[in-house]
Amino acid sequence: MRISRSTSAVAVVGAAAFALAGCSTGAPQSQSGTAENTGTTYVTTEMTDGKTEFTQVKNPNGGQVLSFATGGAMKVVEAKDGDYTYAFKDINGNGELDPAEDWRLDAKERAAAYVKGLTKEQMSGLMLFSSHERAPGDGLTEDQKTYLSQSYLRNVLNAGPSDVKMNVQWVNEMQAYVETLGSAELPYIPVNYSSDPRSDASQAASFSEAGEISKWPSSLGLAATFDPDTVLEFGKMASQEYKALGIATALSPQIDLATEPRWLRVSGTFGEDAQMAGAMAKSYVDGFQGTFSEGGENTGWGDQSVNAMIKHWPGDGAGEGGRESHTSAGQYEVMVGGNSAEHISVFQQALDAASVMTSYSITLDANGDPEYTDRMGSSYDAGKLSALRDDNGFDGVVCTDWGVTNALSDPDAFIATGWGSDSLTKEERHYAIIKNGTDMFGGNNDAAPVLAAYDMWQADYEAGTNDIDAQTRWAQSAQRVLTMIFNADAFDNPFLDLDASSAAVGSDDKVEAGRQAQLNSIVLLKNDGAITLDENADYSDKTVYVPHTYDTGRASLFSPEPEVTEGISLDEELLSKYFGTVVTDTVVDNGDGTFSYTAPDLTDVDVVLVGMKSPNSGAVFANSGLDAETGTYYPLSLQYRPYTADGPNVRQTSISGDILPDGTKENRSYYGQTSRLTNEADLDALLRAREAVDASGKDIPVIAVLKANNPVIPAEFEAQSDAIVVGFGTAQEALIEIALGKHEANGRLPIQFPQDMDTVEANKEDVAKDVTPYTDSAGNVYDYGFGLHIDGSVITD
């Protein structure tokens, strides 16, 4: 019988500790790093990634793989169990097999045993989650050494590229370094690497190639497949790639219910249907956290497992007017329809996740009062955390989103999202957040305020305010974090085999699965005879016209000056794979950030493809919806042309707003103001193409190829398009394959496409499917779940 983890203690027979190098009695055998151990005792391999040397130990009978730095202080303990001799890392160096070192035990049991030996400084360090580390190619830096050795930080956010060698070498170098920091007084703790989503294809022109990390639709694109099994397959494959890059925790999925169509983070969600979003959230968590047999059975935590962090509790998708909570303009969400329970229901289907990240927003009810307990951001709102911990019984890790212990009033604050906490010191913010039941602080590299909070807690305990002492409370959080680290095998096997990682990332099966998922997510909204299904269609002797477009850009936190982008609306190199000739516009730079275009002669053109993106009326870090100079709010819009918000459904008094010094409430209404779009030229491109076709006198199909982040109002371009193809977070190539009929259209809208901005204004921000959807010239309604096959038939369940 093969070894698996259990929740009961295992008897140890004949334990002995020794260094692998120079061992005599019971000396381990050697074999290649990739071979399976079919013997009865463990075998070792000395390995290197070109920079760091480490030892890999393979146990028999399907036992845990171990790894540690070569030549360091780490030893192993061996134990005989039946016919097999197993190795265990002697993590604390006492020469005995302790429960925390026994990989046969459950991660929670190991964590509970190990936390007892940690200092308050180490526990405080475990409560930190680093700021974004964007350059793994730089290797282990002095700044990283500082926070690892002085703040005992062990949770590192990898925000860099997915280059395999670069990541393997960085991971191994850092893991070897923290191994040297372990001692009898300061027990060894490995690094837990994490990552935001890195698998979506939204920025790609072409499908990924073997050897590159596989590319899939964004979460909204996965939702467009209407297939939770596709999400499960994604989770299984993406987690293998994460693990091969050393990433043990995924800061995903984002499962906010996308009930407000203008909200600037709709693209990261599973859409606006709570049942479907919940099913996909569960599949995502199962795929990432599970380990799967060859027959597809999920055997639970194992060597393929990556911790999932569902976010953003209790749902952040109801920002008033669609404004987004990364900036002060969007710090409030409003439950106008009293629909908090539906937003929470998505999370309830995925609470097997190892961890939960809380949202930024201050959540208000329809009257502008706190929906939960406090008029503060989620980490400070005791009612929100109680709903998670007490009402839903969640005992895993709770992590803040990044920057919530900073306030706009702080000097030199960069990312400051501690809404409502301006009157508190930084130390008091940490204390308040811990009191509410949170375990980790996103974006904090410094343990000093956590240690200050420890002293505050202890003082209040001694004064009778707190029921438990600081050591006990800190141990609760540390144990939860340690459980995540044990779950992902970081204690046992933190080092990466470069060859194995290279084989896992971008393997043929993953690349092909991602390609198929992208194709199956594409939504065909209209086909007036422009597209015919023929997977063998050959366009190599055809000519395509693709117009140019531009985006004027906008200033944001990371880009103080707007960046103007201009070019052909679909990638020309990609188009050349399909067409013999690509023609486009003549371009004149007007010198003011705008451009003028003249369409070419269409005499030889066979088809027109117009690349479009969702109307761009805002960005996450741009404080969109607020003119910082005048203090005036303006509307976010789902149409390309300027929209002035003066209709009967526009609120003239906002629900949200800051409480002013005189006790009155700020009015954040944008009534009478006009939207600020940056890519109106996309609509001009399609209309210019239609005019050129009409002027040519030829029957040339005009196909709109739309990359959507949000719902779009099609009224401005539907009648001028012979076909409309929509992708959510896919490569351009997936859209083109459908536009040319080389693959069947199978996707369906995961969000409604509205009739106009009047119905958007009437929408209650927290209520799903609450707009009047657009009806096209063929009578089709662009409602949730709508999509066509290429033959024009409506896709049904």
pLDDT, tens only, 585-612: 999 999 999 999 999 999 999 999 999 9
Are 749 and 771 in contact by the 8 Å Cβ rule? The answer is no
pLDDT for 200 beyond 80? yes
Mean pLDDT over 517-526 rounds to 98
Q: What percent of the chain has pLDDT over 90?
A: 95
pLDDT for 30 beyond 60? no
Q: Which of 90, 200, 381, 401 is catalytic?
A: 401
pLDDT for 240 beyond 70? yes
Mean pLDDT over 691-715 rounds to 98
Phi/psi of residue 595, nearest 5 degrees: -140, 150
pLDDT, tens only, 482-512: 999 999 999 999 999 999 999 999 999 999 9
The yes-or-no answer on residue 273 being catalytic is no
pLDDT, tens only, 726-772: 999 999 999 999 999 999 999 999 999 999 999 999 999 999 999 99
pLDDT for 146 beyond 80? yes
pLDDT, tens only, 563-573: 999 999 999 99
Structure confidence at residue 113 (pLDDT): 98
Cα torsion 20, 26, 31, 33: sign: negative
Structure confidence at residue 35 (pLDDT): 72
Strands (E) across 326-423 are located at: 332-335, 355-358, 362-365, 397-399
Structure confidence at residue 128 (pLDDT): 98
pLDDT for 1 beyond 60? no
What are the tokens at 678?
């940056």
pLDDT for 308 beyond 90? yes
Structure confidence at residue 7 (pLDDT): 33
Structure confidence at residue 33 (pLDDT): 53
Residue 101 DSSP code: G
Structure confidence at residue 544 (pLDDT): 98
The continuous run of DSSP H or E covering 132 comes out as strand 132-133
Query: What DSSP line would sit under 637-682, residue for residue?
Result: -SSSS--B--STTS-SS-S--PBPTTS-B-----TT-B---S-THH
Structure confidence at residue 412 (pLDDT): 85
Structure confidence at residue 34 (pLDDT): 60
Give the pLDDT band of residue 459 (cuts 50, 70, 90): very high
Structure confidence at residue 797 (pLDDT): 82
pLDDT, tens only, 389-425: 999 999 999 999 999 999 999 998 889 999 999 999 9
pLDDT, tens only, 72-125: 999 999 999 999 999 999 999 999 999 999 999 999 999 999 999 999 999 999
